[in-house]
Amino acid sequence: MTDDLNSELVDDVDPEEESADYSFDLTFYGADYPVDGLVKRLANNDIVIPTFDPDNELVTDVEAFQRKFVWKKIQCDRFVESLLLGLPVPGIFLVQQENKRLLVLDGQQRLVTLAAFYSGVINKKEFALEHVQKKFKGATYKSLEEADRRTLDDSIIHATVIKRTAEGQDLGSVYSLFERLNSGGTQLSAHEIRVALVPGPLMHLVREMNAAPKWREIFGPVSKTLKDHELVLRFLALRFSADKYKSPMKDYLTSFAQKNREPGGIGADKMKAAFSSTVDLVFAAIGKDAFRIGRALNAAVFDSVMIGVSERIDAGPALTSVALKAAYEKLLTDKEYLAAVGKATAREDQVAARLTKARNAFAAA
Q: Based on the domain organization, do 88 and 54 belong to the same domain?
A: yes
Q: What is the mean pLDDT of the chain?
A: 87
Q: Does residue 308 or residue 28 have the better pLDDT?
A: 308
Among the residue ranges 42-51, 73-82, 183-192, 269-278, the one predicted with the least confidence is 183-192
Residue 175 forms part of a structural domain: no
Q: Based on the domain organization, do 79 and 156 belong to the same domain?
A: yes
Residue 176 forms part of a structural domain: no
- How much is the pTM? 0.76
Q: Based on the domain organization, do 15 and 53 belong to the same domain?
A: no
Residue 253 forms part of a structural domain: yes
Residue 49 forms part of a structural domain: yes
Reference 10, options 224, 278, 285, 283; nearest CA is 224
Please report which confidence band the pLDDT of residue 257 belongs to, taking 50, 70 and 90 as the band edges: very high
Residue 177 forms part of a structural domain: no
Q: Based on the domain organization, do 34 and 159 belong to the same domain?
A: yes
Q: What is the per-residue pLDDT for 123?
A: 83
The mean pLDDT of 28-42, rounded to a whole number, is 96
The mean pLDDT of 142-162, rounded to a whole number, is 96
- Domain residue limits at 357: 10-19+187-363
The rounded distance, in Å, linking the Cα atoms of 34 and 346 is: 45
Residue 176 in contact with residue 25, Cβ under 8 Å? no
Burial 302-341 (b: 16+ CB within 10 A, else e): bbbbbbbbbbbbeeeeebeeeebbebbeebbebeebbebb
Residue 68 in contact with residue 186, Cβ under 8 Å? yes
**Alpha helices, DSSP H only, in 32-129?**
35-43, 73-84, 108-119
Burial 10-24 (b: 16+ CB within 10 A, else e): bbbbeeebbeeeeee
Residue 95 forms part of a structural domain: yes
Q: Based on the domain organization, do 346 and 301 belong to the same domain?
A: yes
Residue 61 forms part of a structural domain: yes
Q: Based on the domain organization, do 196 and 112 belong to the same domain?
A: no
What total of structural domains would you count in the chain?
2
Residues of the chain above pLDDT 90, percent: 65
What's the start-to-end Cα distance of the chain, in Å?
A: 31
Q: Does residue 171 or residue 43 have the better pLDDT?
A: 43
Domain end: 168, 203, 235, which one?
A: 168
**pLDDT, tens only, 2-21:** 444 444 589 987 655 555 55
Q: Based on the domain organization, do 235 and 334 belong to the same domain?
A: yes
> How many Cβ atoms from other residues are within 10 Å of residue 100's Cβ?
7
pLDDT surpassing 90 at residue 275:
yes
Q: Based on the domain organization, do 275 and 141 belong to the same domain?
A: no
Q: Based on the domain organization, do 98 and 211 belong to the same domain?
A: no
Q: Based on the domain organization, do 308 and 225 belong to the same domain?
A: yes
Q: Based on the domain organization, do 34 and 15 belong to the same domain?
A: no
**pLDDT, tens only, 180-203:** 766 555 567 788 878 877 878 899
Q: Based on the domain organization, do 239 and 292 belong to the same domain?
A: yes
